[in-house]
Structure 1
């Protein structure tokens, strides 16, 4: 039986989330062994070479960016670099499931940012879901309690920078290939962390560490490619909820690899965030369908006679 585009898109989204989460787990195993900047630079070198080869094979290597896209690409790089630094720092210092749970707030922050900066309409139901979702985030972070630490704030900073990245991506023209943007981003991340790594002594890299960094690079490349492929098949309203499978992977890897299991209140907060995000996606899908139906109705009526 032939597989539908929606099922294919869902499988690609789950594969993308699995790849990104395995990358996180591999990077986390190097915490305390190799400095963060060194790890990010070495992974960046492998990633950039691989992405450049893929871009060359796709025929987009050397494509010039339109001048109008320079600004969005710059802010996208700022968002990518900031999110990488804050996310990996938090990852090095807190359970992988906890930082993953905080990152599940992204659909909520992106919807809110689109409403504030792009004047995209957000009804009271979605706004209420966003507020409830942020209550869930506070249950995960728990400021003012014994379980709170500064790295929870780093996680929130990572969410902010990813939101900036995605808002900048929305401003890119459709003529810019996704792989071109990925390559530019990868080059600048590699350069930034390469320069930052000069501020601290490098640690020796044995065969195991080199294998882990290589594996992380393979996973991050896979995550990029799957996420690009997702955008080309199926309905985004059907596919987007499968983004939350990353939390399942984070819970499983946190328990199996690091022996961590979140507290009950963290799981409750994560559940609230996920439920709020799913409701927001559902409402966005409904609004989009109504808009398309209204547009079709108007086209079918034709121009009014004068």
Structure 2
């Protein structure tokens, strides 16, 4: 088996360093008042973050220093940088704004620390690898900038009020350290029939990003938030169906359909008047209620 060249093995770490530079550059753009470029810097950092790990596994270039560097990069690019961009954008000098920025950065660091510890936990059920615990770092950094993106596209409104922005920031920080499951794109399997529609959707998404970048970003972030209830439902369903943990998606759908069919054709509870095939004596009042239940009146004796 041929070993990867040393220069190629450094490529994933170089991409991680570029992600750090992109995240820090967003702070510089915010200081210059170029908030559109500040958002672009965080978006570029998220794209680079999605590449370095995949490339390291593809080139068999994973290393401990690479894992540590990736966590530090995420903390800077998606924790420190968005918090500073929001604080610079508000520039109201209010103490609560700085507190909210600190809370967001600290929660991002705590989220990354928990993520690293969960990687070494080998006792988790297999289905947990399909989910993140809480909102992942790139999504959290971009969600924090959603009020800024909406303001740049549609102008000032209630979403640009300092109280709303900082409450939103704290809310996103809470999602980062929460135990809410969110889907992991890395483990999603696309059926063969869905490949062509998916490629068409990617083309439409690219056109939307080119023509309406901020609207496309805002819509994508809102859709991401909308998927959280589905992720929670899927997580609970898998936890209750161990037989679906390590089977293909087609078999999971069959298990889900069979479960719905069983509920739809569920057996009614046995009558309380029968015990082991024998009929219990029925009181006159109960007999009258039975006649009324089927819409008939009892003939007087």
Higher-Rg structure is 2
Q: Which has the higher contact order (CA 8 A, sep 6+)?
A: 1
Give the TM-score normalised by structure 2.
0.31
Query: In proportion to residue count, which structure has more helix?
Result: 1
TM-score, length basis structure 1: 0.30
